[in-house]
Structure 1
Amino acid sequence: MSSPNGHISHQDARPTWPRTDTPLRIAILGWARLSMQVREGSGYNLSASELASGLSMSGHTVVGLSCGMRYSPIPGIRIRHLETWRNIECYDIINSPCHSPAAMNFRNMPRELHSPTLTQRIIRWLDEHRIQIVHIHSLEGYSLDLISAIRATDRHVVCTLHNYWFVCPQVDLLWNETHVCDNYEGGDRCVNCLPRSPSYAKQRFKRAAGRALDRVLGPNPANIIRGTAYSLADRVRNKHSKDTELAGNDEPLADPELALGFNVARNTNRDVIIQHGLALHSHEQTPELGVAPIDQNERMLAPDNNSNGDRHLVVLNEYGKRRHAGADALNHASLVTPPSRFVADVHARMGVDKDKLRVVRLGQPHFDQINRHARRHRLYEHRPWDASHPDRPLRFGFFGTTRNNKGLDVLVRAIPLLSPEVRQKCQFLIRASGWDWPFRKRLSVYPEVQFAGGYDMLQLIAAWGEYDIGVLSHVWFENSPLVLLEHLHAGKFVISSRLGGPVEWLKEPEHHAHYNGLMFAGGDPHGLAQCITRCVTGDVVVPSPKEIHDATPILQSYPDHVREVESIYREFLGDMPVKHTNAQHPEIEVKADHSVLQAQ
């Protein structure tokens, strides 16, 4: 039965969200505004904001604090009320001595180590709001002395690790944003890691001036002035006279079949490629991404067998001091909750007390929506691909951004390596936010590739019927990537780089009767092409969504995630005993099988 507004009226009762009888007062700290969710801070802020929302729905008093983004010409550190979002009072720190996100503060290590004025102002803010528990999701924009200062006030601090910021000011353990960094050389290697990172003074001036424009002229006129200034600066810096970021092309088409019309009788183009005459210009060249060994995870965690000391603990300069201070800050926390065991092991390897670390799997409302949609679908138990009688292409989906760490370039290099017979049985859907025109140029000859731009949550849920296999070609130690969990909740088979946390979720057919993915060496387009070929040819049977769910028992629902985090708070406040979720998870084998890997 439909209501007057066109919505379906459901007669069956829906379960209500449980509310607590003993509410807590909780502060959620990060650099991004909670209300911006994925639009500012990406996956970290989506996780933090949805957890804050769930805790608020449970009856707790939740306040949010963001830092490092907004500056004023008027000096002095201050905290202002920003907005009320989902019954959460949100505040913002103005004029922090540390910028966010991390890349903007890379030349500012002394202030990132100690900023007593900022820290004491935050302590007063916690006092004003009578906060019992502080949950830090990102300390970018703050200083590392904050955690110990909060603990000195007898408050408990929980730190969720969404990346490696505490032990890596670049955040991703990705040197120059292209190569896995498993040895920072006491800090010496960090010096030239981000050569384009701005100075603190320059960045502060730009942000203060921008905020002044917003306040005087309003956001829209200020954006026009800001955009014009940036465009002029970019043109001067790169000396572009004709090239733009638009998809225009003033060169003659280079299609050798232009005179054929509809005629395909000669069948000279067996590879079925379409020439558009699109050449890459110098400023469109992408950097070379590093190729990691297949056992890079194990190499990262392996002990050093030399007399020069532990490479992860050597301190030679301010970056070395900063890494040591980051581990020490986490050791002052009540608990550190990484979303994957690999992230936990990396931090333990770098000096964080193992007793402080507890894996807490992520849960999100849209994960559950995707999961329920898959379970309710009529094709839930249907395998999507029959290699012996294909009646349509096998569809591969890449969801992410054009940033180097996501490894879109690896997929772009892998597709031309496929044989024509394999490639013509594929369809590639690429949903990547960012400047994708150079990638589109490179793949424009292949009609099997579709670029569809960025995406939002609604499009992600609706994409269930648009692809069969998810592709994660990242080149960094991914933590617990939301896109991986989105694929698995959707019941999709996943081809992934064997780097970081995904190893804990993915089971390969060589090792498991019930499997959900294949892995290849991070950054290796040949390995990715081989995985694609195995799926297309039927060497690996692509499981049904139900089989994927059965092979992935460690997926976490959103209500369970909120309840687990709440139980951690109460554990430290002495309100209730807690069963640790980690003990309920099966042990996961993460070692590389070199015999199988070499065979592949």
Structure 2
Amino acid sequence: MKILFYNWVDYLDDEKRGGGVTVYQRNTIQAMRAEDGISCVFLSSGISYDVLQSGPRWERIKHGPSEDRDIRFEIVNSGVLAPSHHSFGDERQTTEPATTEVFMDFLRKNGPFDVVHFNNLEGLPADVLKLKEHFPETRVIFSLHNYYPVCPQVNLWHQERENCVDFDNGRKCEQCLPHQHDTRIIELANGVAFNLKKRGVRPGSKMFDRGFGPAMRLAGRAVGFYNRRIRKGNGGQTPQVASQNSLLRRVERSHVKFARRRTAMVEAINTHCDRVLCVSDRVGVVASKFGIAPALIQTGYIGTQHASKYSETSPKSTLTKPDGTLTLAFLGYMRHDKGFFFLLDTLETTPADIAARINIVICSHLLDQHCMDRITALSDRFASVLFADGY
């Protein structure tokens, strides 16, 4: 059996992007490659951009760790930026012919594949799900690690404040992100990083930091200068408006594109996928509510390398230690939608007599100094506070 796994970021990414999905992908490939009769190939897309060559292409990954170089590939110059908030609501997330053709070419040159497993579609247009039109024997599996197909913000978390249960036909999407990135600056940043990494200058090194920072400051000034010059030459209008002034064009509110995006994503999944794996039963319920066909949905919990230890364990008879204390741990990102700030608010208001009997462990990449100050202040009231800066 030959399997192609897709995720927007390399599972051996030097910058450790992608969170738990990256860890899951790495563990899955390692386990699969240890099995007889199974071969794996991995593809990523949406973050590698070449400032010296235009147009999308696929190639073997030429940067990062040397491990698994024989199976790791990427699409360079994808028409769809990843992760999703870098191309928030961009209609190319559903249709981008050049990137779709490069993806199909990759399948032709490196297949045939028995299974193509998408861990998400960030970095690719949804049209790639039509691969069965070219490879009818291939099974298409789509994993819902988040809600990207129905939410360009990914987590159904409106304005970083509340669960989005009704997007008002796309109108709530218009005011969702507090800040939207300039895609040209993102592509330039990715291009600078890509070309540094290809030359062996890896993220985290002094040489990378010294090269990347100044290059990005120059890029930002160049984009700003370009915008000012073009607008001045066009009477203050944006290039898009100026170039279309004399043309007939369809005018519509931006919420329409968000509604169209959700419809197109759901239709593509329901039409072309053989199975939709949801990481929990609840994710399956939410997916069904937003239109994913229930007949396709199956819960597939993410395993870890520690699963083999389960048979050696036994449940504790009590959560408390002999001294009457218990330990409460948080492992994840410092984000509202992960519950971190809800937890922090709750700990700060915990009665003193209860707090004195609780040990706190926080393993999370530090967001800013203000968060660190709040965590440090807990040590005055709780039995102990341990903090590890990392995911």
- 2:201 pairs with 1:223: no
- 2:21 pairs with 1:44: yes
Note the residue ranges of structure 1 that are not aligned, 5 or more in a row: 1-23, 235-314, 457-600
- 2:72 pairs with 1:132: no
Provide the residue aligned with 2:318 in structure 1.
383
The separation in 2 between residues aligned to 1:159 and 1:213, in whole angstroms, is: 33
Q: Kindly report which structure 2 residues correspond to 1:484-563, keeping only aligned pairs within 5 A, or say none.
A: none
2:101 to 101, 115, 120: 120
1:76 to 55, 58, 62: 55
Partner of 2:172, secondary structure, is: coil
Amino acid at match of 1:52: I
The separation in 2 between residues aligned to 1:67 and 1:445, in whole angstroms, is: 42
Provide the residue aligned with 1:194 in structure 2.
177
- 2:328 pairs with 1:345: no
Amino acid at match of 1:99: L
The separation in 2 between residues aligned to 1:89 and 1:373, in whole angstroms, is: 34
Q: Does the CA-based 8 Å contact 1:98-1:112 persist in structure 2?
A: yes
CA offset digits 1:231-285 (Å, max 9, x no partner): 9999xxxxxxxxxxxxxxxxxxxxxxxxxxxxxxxxxxxxxxxxxxxxxxxxxxx
Deviation at 1:38, TM superposition (A): 9.5
User: What value does the CA root-mean-square deviation take over the aligned residues?
Assistant: 2.8
Aligned pairs, number: 344
Deviation at 1:37, TM superposition (A): 9.4
Provide the residue aligned with 1:261 in structure 2.
none
1:54 to 11, 31, 52: 31
Provide the residue aligned with 1:153 in structure 2.
135
Give the structure-1-normalised TM-score: 0.53
Provide the residue aligned with 1:162 in structure 2.
145
CA offset digits 1:7-62 (Å, max 9, x no partner): xxxxxxxxxxxxxxxxx111111111122399221111222222222222113111
The separation in 2 between residues aligned to 1:373 and 1:118, in whole angstroms, is: 48
The separation in 2 between residues aligned to 1:445 and 1:79, in whole angstroms, is: 50
User: Who wins on radius of gyration, i.e. which is larger?
Assistant: 1
The separation in 1 between residues aligned to 2:44 and 2:141, in whole angstroms, is: 16
- Greater CA drift, 395-404 or 91-100: 395-404
The separation in 2 between residues aligned to 1:41 and 1:96, in whole angstroms, is: 18
- 2:361 pairs with 1:429: yes
Q: Does the CA-based 8 Å contact 1:31-1:140 persist in structure 2?
A: yes
- Greater CA drift, 218-227 or 123-132: 218-227
Identity of aligned residues (%): 22
The separation in 2 between residues aligned to 1:381 and 1:357, in whole angstroms, is: 34
Q: Kindly report which structure 2 residues correspond to 1:462-473, keeping only aligned pairs within 5 A, or say none.
A: none
Q: Does the CA-based 8 Å contact 2:366-2:390 persist in structure 1?
A: no
Provide the residue aligned with 1:111 in structure 2.
92
The separation in 2 between residues aligned to 1:321 and 1:39, in whole angstroms, is: 33
Provide the residue aligned with 2:188 in structure 1.
205
Deviation at 1:79, TM superposition (A): 0.8
Q: Does the CA-based 8 Å contact 1:37-1:49 persist in structure 2?
A: no
The separation in 2 between residues aligned to 1:224 and 1:366, in whole angstroms, is: 39
Q: Does the CA-based 8 Å contact 2:9-2:44 persist in structure 1?
A: yes
Partner of 1:70, secondary structure, is: coil
Q: Structure 1 451/229 Cα, relative in aligned 2: closer, same or farther at 3 Å?
A: farther
Deviation at 1:328, TM superposition (A): 0.9
Deviation at 1:213, TM superposition (A): 4.1
Give the structure-2-normalised TM-score: 0.80
Q: Structure 1 444/358 Cα, relative in aligned 2: closer, same or farther at 3 Å?
A: closer
Note the residue ranges of structure 2 that are not aligned, 5 or more in a row: 221-253
Amino acid at match of 2:283: V
CA offset digits 1:407-430 (Å, max 9, x no partner): 221122112322221111222122
The separation in 1 between residues aligned to 2:295 and 2:370, in whole angstroms, is: 47
